[in-house]
């Protein structure tokens, strides 16, 4: 027998005593411990009794299960007094019987006829108690038959880390092409899957676990097929249990996952190792570019408490073009012609948008329109864009988090380097405050027709952000605003709507005023209807 003491701000303390080998914790009314909260999954976690011990198992919940502050990524043995955290709830596990011994159950109260119960309620001024209405969605919820497979996969991966091949070496030091190594690990995995609870699984499930774990131990696991899929431009990992792939800007939650947090971190370490970056226990925020065009950014557990989070951006298969954006419906014929003529005429353009990938696509399309006779300098693009120009520069401010600080340079240094390297134009991705003023000075003294992007929800919002960033080092607001109006000719805004469709939402011209600038719309996208499934509207010229 064991007990769970639930502590809640609303309900106070409540003791649950159990005399069975397995209980379920979740949001469903059928749960042994029902926790009514949106951050608790329907079937969140289980406590099971196996081989003389109690274990807690997370059931692939959205927000995770934690014991004593540590996320449960594999069946975890519980000790008396352990603190269990599920959503906003905290529970204390007590091994053995808790509280006073229960006495015999009182005899049941005699049942009253329905009419008599109603009359009695009327006399007391209360409504007769009613049972909670049945939730048909909950009744339709099927038992999670995949839970044993997931648990066996986690256990298989953790057991594999104790194999002799992995015990005393870094995962990324092993050669994934070594057939002898692969054969040895494969044989040991199959032997493990014929023991204990895993032996009860279907042969197909065992094969699936074997292949998934082997790929995580020696390759890139669930990421592998997305890294080399030309139709996938970005991959997001939101903890070990959720992978989202972006196909041409459209995100889709996949059915793939990692065995556990350890598997996810080891795959991230293997990616980082190819750049000379070594992830260790002190790594928290990572950002590095791989030689073949991948950029990896992330926050590792426990700073991402529900599991390490990664974003992997891939190099564009071919340079995005204004015509390509036009074919995809992001702008119309007149807008495309206007932008190509503006780039040809060396107008300085600021690209403003709320989504990094959208800003990159639009900035790359404008950069591809720069005449091929010129020598543009791409700054802070990494290896994400390939221009058709035979003569162009690619300048990056940092190769990776683990590179020594004295080897890193700031964006301002790269802007000065672009001048010394005789670049005709600067194309700067995602301007930040440390380089905003230097960029304005550079554009004001040359580099006509340069392009840069920055975050903003609208043209006005983006320009105000640019002004504030340029004042970072104490320059007066009036001077900064005059610099902006003298430097920036056009603002091009890109927006992603509720339907996940993108549009160039506005093209605006800047003119100088005594107080800085004035913006006048040239083109705009007029939204008539924007729902999660449909976007209706049209482009208009002013």
pLDDT by residue for the chain (542 residues), tens only, comes to 899 999 876 667 889 999 888 899 998 888 999 998 888 888 889 898 876 788 888 887 878 888 887 778 767 889 899 999 888 888 999 987 433 334 444 444 444 444 444 443 444 344 444 444 444 444 334 445 667 888 899 899 988 888 887 776 666 667 777 888 889 999 999 999 998 888 989 999 999 999 999 999 988 999 988 988 878 888 999 989 899 998 877 788 898 999 998 899 889 888 887 766 777 656 678 877 776 667 888 888 877 777 889 998 876 555 578 988 998 899 999 999 999 999 999 999 999 999 888 998 899 999 999 999 999 999 987 656 767 788 888 887 654 443 334 445 688 888 988 888 989 999 999 998 889 999 999 998 889 999 999 999 999 999 999 999 999 878 899 999 999 999 999 999 999 999 889 999 999 999 988 878 899 999 999 999 999 889 999 999 99
pTM: 0.57
**Residues 349 and 271 both lie in one domain:** no
| Main-chain dihedrals φ then ψ at residue 80, nearest 5 degrees | -60, 130
Q: How far is CA 203 from the centre of its chain?
A: 34
Helical packing angle, 433-444 and 459-470, nearest 10° = 90
**Residues 497 and 353 both lie in one domain:** yes
d(CA 379, CA 382): 8
* Cα distance between the two ends of the chain: 76
**Residues 272 and 340 both lie in one domain:** no
Length of the chain equals 542
Which is it for strands 53-58 and 45-50: parallel, antiparallel or unpaired? antiparallel
Q: Structural domain of residue 386, as residue ranges?
A: 322-541
SS3 of 194, please? coil
**Residues 171 and 275 both lie in one domain:** yes
User: Where does a domain end: 256, 285, 313?
Assistant: 313
Asked if the structure places residue 178 within a domain, the reply is: yes
Asked if the structure places residue 195 within a domain, the reply is: yes
**Residues 242 and 327 both lie in one domain:** no
Indicate the burial class of 98 (C-beta count within 10 angstroms; 0-12, 13-18, 19 or more).
Answer: middle
d(CA 303, CA 324): 39
**Residues 394 and 279 both lie in one domain:** no
**Residues 185 and 213 both lie in one domain:** yes
Cβ atoms of residues 209 and 153 within 8 Å = yes
Burial of 466-494, coded b for 16+ CB within 10 Å and e otherwise, reads bbebbbeeebeeeebbbbbbbbbbbbbbb
Question: Count of domains in the chain?
Answer: 3
């Amino acid at each position: 027998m064991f007990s769970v003491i639930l502590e809640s701000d609303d309900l106070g303390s409540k003791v649950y005593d159990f005399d069975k080998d397995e209980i379920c914790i979740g949001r469903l009314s059928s749960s042994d411990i029902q926790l009514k909260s949106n951050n608790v999954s329907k079937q969140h976690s289980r406590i099971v009794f196996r081989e003389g011990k109690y274990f807690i198992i997370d059931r692939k919940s959205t927000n995770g299960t934690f014991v004593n502050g540590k996320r449960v990524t594999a069946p975890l043995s519980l000790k008396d007094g352990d603190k269990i955290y599920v959503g906003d709830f905290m529970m204390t596990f007590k091994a053995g019987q808790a509280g006073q011994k229960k006495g015999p159950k009182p005899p049941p109260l005699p049942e009253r006829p329905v009419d008599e119960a109603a009359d009695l309620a009327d006399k007391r001024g209360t409504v007769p108690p009613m049972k909670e209405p049945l939730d048909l969605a909950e009744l339709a919820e099927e038992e999670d038959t995949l839970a044993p497979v997931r648990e066996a996969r986690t256990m298989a991966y953790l057991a594999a880390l104790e194999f002799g091949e992995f015990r005393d070496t870094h995962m990324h030091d092993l050669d994934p092409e070594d057939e002898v190594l692969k054969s040895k690990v494969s044989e040991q995995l199959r032997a493990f899957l014929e023991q204990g609870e895993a032996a009860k699984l279907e042969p197909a499930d065992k094969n699936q676990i074997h292949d998934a774990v082997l790929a995580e131990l020696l390759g890139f696991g669930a990421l592998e097929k997305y890294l080399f899929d030309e139709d996938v431009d970005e991959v997001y990992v939101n903890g070990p249990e959720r992978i989202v792939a972006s196909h041409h800007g459209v995100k889709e939650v996949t059915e793939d996952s990692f065995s556990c947090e350890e598997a996810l971190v080891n795959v991230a370490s293997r990616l980082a190792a190819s750049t000379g970056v070594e992830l260790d226990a002190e790594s928290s925020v990572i950002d590095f570019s791989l030689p073949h065009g991948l950029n990896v950014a992330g926050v590792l557990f426990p700073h991402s408490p529900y599991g390490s989070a990664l974003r992997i951006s891939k190099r564009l298969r071919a340079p995005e073009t204004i015509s390509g954006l036009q074919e995809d419906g992001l702008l119309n014929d007149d807008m495309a012609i206007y932008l190509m003529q503006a780039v040809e005429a060396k107008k300085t353009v600021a690209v403003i948008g709320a989504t990094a990938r959208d800003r990159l696509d639009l900035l790359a399309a404008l950069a591809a329109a720069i005449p091929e006779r010129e020598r543009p300098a791409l700054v802070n693009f990494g290896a994400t864009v390939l221009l058709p120009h035979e003569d162009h520069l690619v300048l990056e401010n940092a190769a990776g988090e683990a590179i020594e600080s004295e080897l890193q340079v700031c964006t301002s240094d790269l802007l000065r380097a672009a001048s010394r390297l005789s670049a005709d134009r600067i194309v700067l991705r995602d301007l930040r405050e440390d380089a905003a003023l230097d960029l304005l000075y550079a554009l004001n003294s040359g580099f006509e027709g340069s392009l840069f992007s920055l975050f903003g929800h609208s043209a006005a919002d983006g320009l105000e952000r640019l002004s504030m960033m340029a004042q970072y080092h104490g320059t007066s607001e009036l001077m900064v605003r005059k610099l902006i109006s003298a430097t920036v000719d056009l603002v091009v805004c890109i927006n992603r709507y509720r339907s996940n469709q993108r549009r160039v939402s506005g093209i605006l011209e800047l003119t100088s005023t005594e107080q800085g600038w004035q913006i006048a719309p040239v083109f705009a996208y007029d939204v008539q209807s924007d729902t999660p499934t449909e976007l209706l509207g049209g482009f208009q010229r002013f």
